[in-house]
Amino acid sequence: MNIVIFGAGTVGTSIAEILCENQHDVCVVDVSREVLDVIEEKLDIQTVCGSACDAITLFQAGVITADLCLAVTTHDEINLVGASLAKAMGASRTVARIFETRYTDTSTFDYKRHFNINHLLSLELLTAVELAKQVRSRGAFSIENFVRGEIEVQEIAVEKSSKAVGISLKDLKLPKGVRVGLISSGNQTIIPGADDAIKAGDHVSLIGTRDTIESVKKKFEHKAPSRLNVVIAGGGEIGFHLAGILQKGRFNVSLMESNEKRCEYLAGKLDNVTVLHADITRVSEMEEARVGKADVFIAATGRDEDNIVCGVEVRELGCSRIMSIVRRPDYANVLAKLGIDVSVSPREVMAKQVLGLVETGPIQARSSLFDGEAEIWEVEVHENAPITKAPLKDISLQQCLVAALERETYVKVPGGEDQIQAGDNVILLVGKDFTEKSLEFITPVKDS
Amino acid sequence: MKLLDFVVQKAIVPDLVVSSKDDAIKAMVSSLKDAGIFKADDEEGVVAAILKREELGSTGIGKGVAVPHTKHPSVDRLVATVAIAKNGVDFASLDGEDVYILFLLVSPPDRPGDHLRALETISKHLRNENFCNFLRQSKTAQDVYDLLEEADNDQLDQ
């Protein structure tokens, strides 16, 4: 594939690296010749010096024949304009990184449609989603995210005397945004129909939007587990999004931020979060915030060094689970040695997205459930795929469930009357013996 | 574009009594649902979408008016409703004043042009002080409806 990247910062460079490793032709555009020289020494890529908003520069970089353009400079506006220009000039697909998530809100104005950009990605939001996933997964049960964090797949064990036991799925009255994807009773795993019922001890996988999954979990539990105390250090965009996600779950969330103005802003936006005005580099202030008593501590400031140091500090104070954002790959080795349990890097989060985008087939991402009994696919539906030819109820899918559908910017769990269209993103749940058969439904057929 | 092209007559609320912004939005969406505009299942989703938009910045644009709006796939055409709150609602407006006139708009996602035209139509009329004064004095849904019709036909003095 021909891929043009706008912006040779940390994100741009690491994307270029990943794509080079995967044998793609990469050209990087940046306004600074010096930055380009550094990256050129490391990687076998083309570079063009100039602005991503300048059509002549973009022409030189080859966007006209590009399969993919990724605008990842540090300015939202440059990314929006650059990606839009690239698309208009001929690039097949464009992605703009955005910092301000208000650009993804379409209520008043639809930026994505106006600029004709395929995806607006907020790396900060995606990183927060990844961190939240780590915080929320307790015990052995996994949580997976799809469609840029919009859709979640969660495994849970059905407890004895929970409300759902013995009730058929159609009588379970699950809300619209969620469905039971798989039921596993030890020796067999099925994709259930409306009449199947859940037994105590079964494992089920729930698929749906994050908020709705959180709200139906209690149907499968005897009683809700105790709330965990979570402390987040750093109220930047990542900390803000993370607190926003966790406050809806079973967590008592405290958010520490050193800038007073920012604290006021955060307190105004996050109703169920305790916002503390505190400097995380001062031990006394950390003690005051009772971080030692927290169940989980997440260091999410803008500086790797601060995140690592305060992580170690909090471990000393007695907190049992430490997570940290670490941007520079060089630090990866020392983290485990320092007792930091989980580190999430925005680079890796971006890498996952980018690798999905360079997939040539319809499947953008896949993962397995219940020890390989079933697979989850994130699929981009192309023109002429058989699945688009009729409403879902008339398509004879076998052990293959269309669990979620993303059209425009709306995600929903489709019903039988819904018809899949080209351009939709769908989440398919596929039984292990039916993968080939299911693939036929999403592989475009040429008109004869 | 005219107001009555998209304001749903049956959903007009001439006597909104609520104590918060959230309740005002819930009541207006509920009124659209009662008029048969979307299914009961979708009500919560529409409310959530409108509240999410409000978080980014209030649609209370000052002078006692607010225009909460969103796009949502549960509607297949532009729909709006009008509510008059005699006692005022704290809408976190730009000028800090309470809101007395509310226009709530929901459009399908694939009609961005119409959505903006509708917002433009609403904003244009709300700039007319006479229109606002008469709206605040309306007692029944019919009063409101008649007033919208007059505004559409340019029968109100500026």
To the nearest whole percent, how much of chain A has pLDDT over 90?
Answer: 36
To the nearest whole percent, how much of chain A has pLDDT over 70?
Answer: 98
Q: Is the pLDDT of residue A141 over 70?
A: no
Nearest CB partner across the interface for B53, out of A107, A110, A113: A107
In whole angstroms, give the CA distance from residue B132 to residue B147: 10
pLDDT of residue B84: 96
- How many CB pairs below 8 Å do chains A and B form together? 37
Q: What is the pLDDT of residues A392-448, one digit of tens each?
A: 888 888 888 888 888 877 788 887 788 888 888 898 888 888 888 888 888 888 765
Q: What is the pLDDT of residues A227-274, one digit of tens each?
A: 889 999 999 999 999 999 999 888 999 999 999 999 999 998 898 999
The reply to whether residue B73 touches residue A408, judged by beta carbons under 8 angstroms, is: yes
Kindly list the distances between the CA atom of residue B149 and the CA atoms of A165, A215, B6, B9, B155, in Å, as whole numbers in the listed order: 57, 44, 12, 11, 9
Phi/psi at B79 (nearest 5 deg)? -135, 150
Q: What is the pLDDT of residues A274-326, one digit of tens each?
A: 999 988 888 888 888 888 889 999 999 989 899 999 888 888 888 888 999 98
A407 touches chain B (CB under 8 A): yes
Q: Take residue A137 and report the two structure tokens written for it.
A: 């997964």
Domains by residue range for chain A, with CATH: 2-121 (3.40.50.720), 127-219 (3.30.70.1450), 228-350 (3.40.50.720), 352-442 (3.30.70.1450)
The distance of B76 to chain A (nearest Cα, Å) reads 14
- Write the CATH number for B64: 3.40.930.10
> Is B69 part of the annotated catalytic residue set?
yes
- Residue A101: closest C-alpha in chain B: B56
- Residue A174: closest C-alpha in chain B: B41
Average pLDDT, chain A: 87
> Into how many domains does chain B fold?
1
- Residue A209: closest C-alpha in chain B: B45
Q: Are A179 and A206 in contact (CB under 8 A)?
A: yes
Tens digits of pLDDT across chain B (158 residues) = 999 999 999 999 999 999 999 999 999 999 999 999 988 888 988 999 999 999 888 999 888 999 999 999 889 999 999 999 999 999 999 899 999 999 999 999 888 899 999 999 999 999 999 999 999 999 999 999 999 999 999 888 76
B112 touches chain A (CB under 8 A): yes
Q: What is the mean pLDDT of residues A164-190?
A: 81
A116 touches chain B (CB under 8 A): no
In whole angstroms, give the CA distance from residue B24 to residue B15: 11
> What is the extent of the structural domain holding B136?
3-157
pLDDT of residue A4: 97
Instruction: Tell me which of A71-80, A250-259, A351-360 is least confident.
Output: A351-360
Q: Is A393 exposed, middle or buried (0-12, 13-18, 19+ CB in 10 A)?
A: exposed
Q: Is A50 exposed, middle or buried (0-12, 13-18, 19+ CB in 10 A)?
A: middle
Q: Take residue A17 and report the two structure tokens written for it.
A: 């690296």
The reply to whether residue A106 touches residue B110, judged by beta carbons under 8 angstroms, is: no
Q: Is the pLDDT of residue A140 over 60?
A: no
pLDDT of residue A446: 73
In the set B69, B72, B115, B125, the catalytic residue is B69
B72 touches chain A (CB under 8 A): yes
pLDDT of residue A171: 83
